[in-house]
Amino acid sequence: MNLEKVVFAFFILLALTLNFGFFIGEISTPDHHNVFELFAAIVVSIVATILKFGDRTQLGAVVLASSLVADLQLVAAAIWWTIAVHVSAAGLTGAATASIVSLSGGAVLANLVSVVLLTIETVMVRR
């Protein structure tokens, strides 16, 4: 068993599950979406992205691209959350929460693509 591949797969799956955990819930209800879960999803997603830089295959490039998309959407969601809470006079409204969760949903799809590609790559490996 290759420990590097285990760690790589662990972080990809953890990024997906943390992001999904943040995403799930009533889209416009701030109480259903924890800011610390969003932060954890961002950190783990960035770690997963860093781990993908070593792969030199075409499939690895697509996995890296999907991870970068997830990172971009999660960071955009965090920026939107920060603006809503600290800049906007209205605060964290249902509309702002819906936008944040929608960005997170896009990141869930990008993470799902990473997991599917990882599965395909694993099936293609011949011993």
Average pLDDT value for residue range 28-37? 93
Going from N- to C-terminal start, the domains of the chain cover 3-124
DSSP state of 26: -
Residue 74 pLDDT exceeds 70: yes
- Classify 126 as helix, strand or coil: coil
Q: What's this model's pTM, rounded to 2 decimal places?
A: 0.91
Residue 123 pLDDT exceeds 90: no
- Contact of 114 with 66, CB cutoff 8 Å: yes
Residue 126 pLDDT exceeds 70: no
Residue 127 pLDDT exceeds 70: no
Look at residue 47 in the predicted model and tell me its pLDDT. 95
Average pLDDT value for residue range 23-52? 94
The CA radius of gyration of the chain, in Å to the nearest whole number, is 16
CA nearest neighbour of 81 among 35, 46, 43: 35
How far is residue 17 CA from its own chain's centroid? 8
CA nearest neighbour of 77 among 93, 100, 97, 46: 100
pLDDT-based confidence at 122, cuts 50/70/90? confident
Instruction: Quick: pLDDT tens for 40-70.
Output: 999 999 999 999 887 788 888 999 999 999 9
